[in-house]
């Protein structure tokens, strides 16, 4: 039996999604909890290996098991054995051909920053803090340069082992919601730190340190060293993974982003 699960988690207490031997990781906790419900060792695959400090409302995983359990049992039973900052949101028995990573057609991330002079008292780790004035319209306009299938080497971290940096960005929207500035970006796939590096460069446009022409030059140069700094991890969320309709995976409205957006 192959089972797909929806997962949400707060990532700031973990060294990332991928299994770690010497640090806490989301995958470790999920596999331990699932193994208890299945009464056998479980090894899972995910749609996107989020970095340390990055959270998710719409992560998707799958695993194979010889044990038959109801979809409800996979949700409720696994949640009983998970820490409070990780939760299964849905379960679906899927064909063996389904793969959480390779069947995905798009990933959507949102980056949320609090734009105030004071630090957050409630969402201390749920958002990043950036003081000063930012021109949201200028950032949104400049971001449209990045649409389509292009080489994103300028926004690829040195640790990224992908052989090429071609990615297809479907949309980037920058908007303000009260004290928050939200960057909403979807692509077929992402490079390591790609979203945070794009946000870091757009913030230079937003505070008038740089302009749209500079971002275009950086993009075309394919040189990470001349782009903006990497934005903080705490504001980044994997909010949705898109699959073809024939898989019939559940879609919750809240998967499209954190509650306060």
- Average of per-residue pLDDT values in the chain: 93
Q: Note the pLDDT tens digit of each residue in 159-181.
A: 887 888 999 999 999 999 999 99
Q: Note the pLDDT tens digit of each residue in 50-90.
A: 999 999 999 999 999 999 999 999 999 999 999 999 999 99
**What band does 222 get if pLDDT is binned at 50, 70 and 90?**
very high
Overall average pLDDT of the 215-242 stretch: 95
Q: What is the CA radius of gyration of the chain?
A: 19
Q: Note the pLDDT tens digit of each residue in 106-139.
A: 999 999 999 999 988 877 788 999 999 999 999 9
Of 256, 252, 238, give the one whose Cα is nearest residue 101.
238
Catalytic residue among 51, 85, 207, 245: 51
pLDDT of residue 259: 43
Angle, helix 212-221 to helix 136-143, in steps of 10 degrees:
30
- Quote the CA–CA distance of 19 and 24 in Å, as a whole number: 8
Phi, psi (deg, nearest 5) at residue 192: -60, 125
Of 240, 114, 226, give the one whose Cα is nearest residue 187.
240
Residues above pLDDT 70, as percent of the chain: 96
Domains and CATH numbers, the chain: 2-103 (3.30.70.580), 106-237 (3.30.70.660)
- Quote the CA–CA distance of 228 and 226 in Å, as a whole number: 7
pLDDT of residue 253: 62
CA 244 to each of CA 35, 98, 184: distance values in angstroms, whole numbers, following the listed order: 29, 11, 21
Q: Are 4 and 249 in contact (CB under 8 A)?
A: yes
- Quote the CA–CA distance of 226 and 27 in Å, as a whole number: 34
**Is 51 a residue of the active site?**
yes
End-to-end CA distance of the chain: 37
């Amino acid at each position: 039996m192959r089972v797909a699960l929806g997962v949400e988690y707060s990532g700031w207490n973990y060294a990332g999604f991928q299994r770690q031997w010497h640090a806490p990781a989301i995958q470790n906790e999920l596999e331990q909890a699932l193994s208890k419900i299945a009464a056998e060792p479980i090894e899972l695959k995910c749609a996107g290996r989020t970095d340390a400090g990055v959270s998710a409302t719409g992560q998707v995983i799958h695993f194979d098991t010889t044990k038959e359990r109801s979809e409800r049992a996979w949700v409720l039973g696994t949640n009983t054995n998970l820490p409070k900052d990780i939760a299964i949101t849905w379960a679906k028995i899927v064909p063996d051909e389904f793969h959480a990573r390779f069947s995905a057609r798009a990933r959507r991330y949102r980056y949320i920053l609090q734009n105030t002079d004071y630090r957050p008292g409630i969402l201390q780790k749920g958002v990043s803090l950036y003081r000063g004035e930012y021109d949201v319209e200028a950032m949104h306009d400049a971001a449209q340069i990045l649409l389509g299938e292009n080489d994103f080497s300028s926004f690829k971290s040195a640790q990224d082992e992908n052989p090429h940096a071609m990615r297809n960005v479907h949309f980037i929207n920058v908007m303000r919601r009260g004290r928050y500035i939200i960057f909403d970006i979807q692509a077929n796939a992402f490079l390591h730190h790609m979203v945070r590096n794009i946000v870091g460069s757009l913030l230079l446009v937003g505070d008038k340190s740089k302009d749209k022409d500079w971002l275009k030059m950086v993009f075309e140069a394919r040189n990470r060293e001349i782009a903006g700094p990497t934005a903080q991890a705490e504001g980044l969320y994997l909010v949705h993974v898109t699959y073809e309709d024939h898989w019939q995976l559940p879609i919750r409205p809240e998967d499209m982003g954190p509650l306060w957006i």
